[in-house]
Amino acid sequence: MALLAWSLEKYGVKIKDVDEQHQKLINILNELHEATNVGHGEDVIQNIVAELESYTRYHFDLEEKLMRTNHYPDFVEHKKKHDFFTGHVAELHAGLNADKKGLTIDALTFLRDWVHEHITGTDKEYSKYLNNKGMH
């Protein structure tokens, strides 16, 4: 079973590039879940966490660029949330490298819940603002 299942009703923000990136982000989390479930080695899990870290940065960069160029009023608050999450994922990545341990279920649950809440709450707020400005 997938950790998260992307659907337009649940996660769609009506901006094509962002929706595609959210699907990719959710795919990475599902891969991580799958790798943990089938008991893959730490190296496989570390590689997926590395991918999660770089893709998260890439995705947040796009959103921040969209918000900044469109003068989104809650940009600073939104960026703080992004910075918190990238810091968290970077720490997780570094911890896995140092401990040579697998990913805990708590760590995975945290990632899942944060991404779910962020897309359905925080991202839908800025996307509504951009949709109103004619961006899709």
Task: For Fe ion, give the closer residue by CB, 45 or 63.
Answer: 63
Integer Cα distance of 35 and 17 in angstroms:
27
Side-chain half-sphere exposure of 28, counting CA atoms within 13 A: 20
Q: Which stretch binds Fe ion (CB under 5 A): 29-37, 64-72, 109-117, 118-126?
A: 118-126
Q: What does the chain come to in residues?
A: 136
**19 forms part of the interface with Fe ion (CB under 5 A):** no
**63 forms part of the interface with Fe ion (CB under 5 A):** yes
Contacts of 88 (CB under 8 A, 6+ apart): 110, 114
Task: For Fe ion, give the closer residue by CB, 30 or 46.
Answer: 30
Footprint of Fe ion (CB under 5 A): 63, 123
